[in-house]
Amino acid sequence: MLLDGSCFRLAEAGPFRVGRKALAVNLSDIAAMAAKPVAAFAAVGLPRRGGRDIAEELFRGLRSMADQFDTAIAGGDTNSWDGPLVISVTLVGEPMGRGPVRRRGAQPGDWLFVTGPLGGSIHGKHLDFTPRVNEALQLHAVVNLHAMIDISDGLATDLAKLCAESRCGAAVRAEAVPISDDARKMDDNLSPLEHALRDGEDFELLFAVSPEDGRRLLADGALCQIGECVADGLWLERAGTREPLAPQGYEHKLE
Amino acid sequence: MLLDGSCFRLAEAGPFRVGRKALAVNLSDIAAMAAKPVAAFAAVGLPRRGGRDIAEELFRGLRSMADQFDTAIAGGDTNSWDGPLVISVTLVGEPMGRGPVRRRGAQPGDWLFVTGPLGGSIHGKHLDFTPRVNEALQLHAVVNLHAMIDISDGLATDLAKLCAESRCGAAVRAEAVPISDDARKMDDNLSPLEHALRDGEDFELLFAVSPEDGRRLLADGALCQIGECVADGLWLERAGTREPLAPQGYEHKLE
């Protein structure tokens, strides 16, 4: 569910990119299980003023993602109200050959990879990212994915989730974390590495494989080995030292 | 998708009944196809203030419906924002023996039935109705349902939809329309019959069967034969005369 003013600002992003993102975040969740997307259901709460134009652009955005990933828009629900734009998409997927990949299944000694550079997605990638559906299906076909998650709340936070489900720990090598150009453009008191570790909504995949499978994947220049699974704890290694890696990232706050 | 201030008022209904209704309206849609509910996915946008308590009561309401109809709550998405409560549920169902029943398939000569009294649901039934899942499955097992729809926007409006999809017309006998006690309690310039024809959110089923099947169903006291399908037009018959039946009911309005 994407909410105007919280997950995006309609006036800045425009309805096409919001519709695109509403399906893309779901495609990213399906990718994280190495499944194939099948059919999407979209419900919208449209502001009364300009609602028809917004609806048409939203649908064009949904359609662009659906076409790109061969997914049906199979149903949904249309409402108008006095509030801001809300869109909620549910996506049905189909497990592939080896079955769905889960967050649990990583083991100490496994190698950890990410599918692309991280951090600073607020500069635009959070709206315009390409969900890693095809990459996940290709990986699933050639290696045994022990555990996988998409990075929506930040590398450190999502790694902590994967480790908690797998009942193991992880050590990340600072110099191995791929830092995006957008992370380097951030102008605040956090370093580019901290942005790569903490920022949400990169929607790259984080996964664990055996060292044998990991060695086979190193030939693929798009994949970055960022560390290994260990018995317990979350650690950041740099310059020969190891410090705790706090699972800081995006959290929804309630009062 | 149910939106506070538009589909319900949280302060009046309370979060339990909202959660219950959010699943019940989906169960009614599955019932309208004579399918069996399987798994529900619920996304919420929670107001920051009191969001945790609201979430717990919402879930209790969802749970009560899910348990009653043997449905899993299989996933979803939780958000907080500065806006009013929003909840969107997607329900996956499984077609039964003769396959899904659609809105198309009614033929001139078919008898039209509804599963219960209509009108005035604003007095409470719009929140507390029981979706006709079990009734639909029983009907589907014993007769050949030509076409079916749940009455969410009003009998006249939903009958018009069923007829449009079936490319036929219908004649409704005024004295045969079951009028609820709540419709008689409405205190405005519309008659109880007009409320039964126009009011939305009764969530009874409207369906068409052959006269042979119809005669077998007349023994069931809960079912009301309200008229027949004809070649074209929508008609209301009373005291030996026939007048056009306008498809007046609830419509979402956009500017």
Tens-place pLDDT, residues B190-226: 999 999 999 999 999 999 999 999 999 998 778 999 9
* β-sheet bridge partners, residue A229: A170
Tens-place pLDDT, residues B144-156: 999 999 999 999 9
Of B51, B83, B254, the CB nearest to A84: B83
A252: pLDDT strictly greater than 70: no
Cβ within 8 Å, pair B79-A1: yes
Chain B residues whose beta carbon lies within 8 Å of the beta carbon of residue A83: 3-6, 83-84, 86
Give residues 26 to 45 of B whose Cβ lies within 8 Å of A: 41, 43-45
The closest alpha carbon to A89, from A70, A69, A68, A75, belongs to: A75
Alpha-carbon torsion angle A232, A233, A236, A239, nearest 10:
-70
DSSP letters for chain B: -EEBTTTB-HHHHHHHHHHHHHHHHHHHHHHHTTEEEEEEEEEEEEESTTHHHHHHHHHHHHHHHHHHTT-EEEEEEEEEESS--EEEEEEEEEE-TT----S----TT-EEEESS-BS-GGGTHHHHPPP-HHHHHHHHHHS---EEEE-SS-HHHHHHHHHHHHT-EEEEEGGGSPBPHHHHH--SSS-HHHHHHH------EEEEE-HHHHHHHTT-TT-EEEEEEESS-EEEEETTEEEE-----------
Residue A80 dihedral angles phi and psi, to the nearest 5°: -125, 150
Please give the pLDDT value at position B248: 81
The closest alpha carbon to B209, from B151, B159, B139, belongs to: B139
Tens-place pLDDT, residues B49-89: 999 999 999 999 999 999 999 999 999 999 999 999 999 99
**pTM score:** 0.91
Residue A126, H or E segment: helix A125-128
Chain A nearest-CA residue for B25 = A77
* β-sheet bridge partners, residue B81: B47
Shortest distance, CA B182 to any CA of chain A (angstroms):
26
B11 inside 8 A of chain A by CB? no
The mean per-residue pLDDT over the stretch A206-219 comes to 96
A189-193, A239-243, B169-173, B245-249: segment of lowest average pLDDT? B245-249
d(CA B239, CA B234): 17
Please give the pLDDT value at position A133: 98
The mean per-residue pLDDT over the stretch B19-27 comes to 98
B219 inside 8 A of chain A by CB? no
A9-18, A64-73, B214-223, B224-233: segment of lowest average pLDDT? B214-223
The mean per-residue pLDDT over the stretch B150-179 comes to 97
Cβ within 8 Å, pair A48-B254: yes
Cβ within 8 Å, pair A81-B46: no
Shortest distance, CA A165 to any CA of chain B (angstroms):
17
- Lookup result for tokens 């449209």: A46
Chain B residues whose beta carbon lies within 8 Å of the beta carbon of residue A77: 1, 88
Please give the pLDDT value at position A255: 45
Cβ within 8 Å, pair A86-B3: yes
Q: What's the complex ipTM? A: 0.89
Please give the pLDDT value at position B139: 97
Of B41, B83, B253, the CB nearest to A83: B83
Chain B nearest-CA residue for A25 = B77
Cβ within 8 Å, pair B44-A1: yes
Residue A37, H or E segment: strand A35-47
Chain B residues whose beta carbon lies within 8 Å of the beta carbon of residue A92: 92
Pairing state between β B86-95 and B35-47: antiparallel
Please give the pLDDT value at position B250: 62
Cβ within 8 Å, pair A253-B83: no
Name the band, by pLDDT with cuts 50, 70 and 90, for residue B254: low
Strand order in the sheet with B111-114: B147-150, B205-209, B111-114, B224-230, B169-173, B234-238, B241-244
Please give the pLDDT value at position A250: 61
Determine if residue B122 is left, alpha or beta; phi over 0 gives left, psi from -120 to 50 gives alpha, anything else beta: alpha
B83 inside 8 A of chain A by CB? yes
B251: pLDDT strictly greater than 70: no
Name the band, by pLDDT with cuts 50, 70 and 90, for residue B125: very high
The mean per-residue pLDDT over the stretch B229-235 comes to 97
Tens-place pLDDT, residues A150-181: 999 999 999 999 999 999 999 999 999 999 99
Cβ within 8 Å, pair B48-A79: no
Of B7, B79, B253, the CB nearest to A3: B79
Chain A nearest-CA residue for B43 = A1
Please give the pLDDT value at position B255: 45
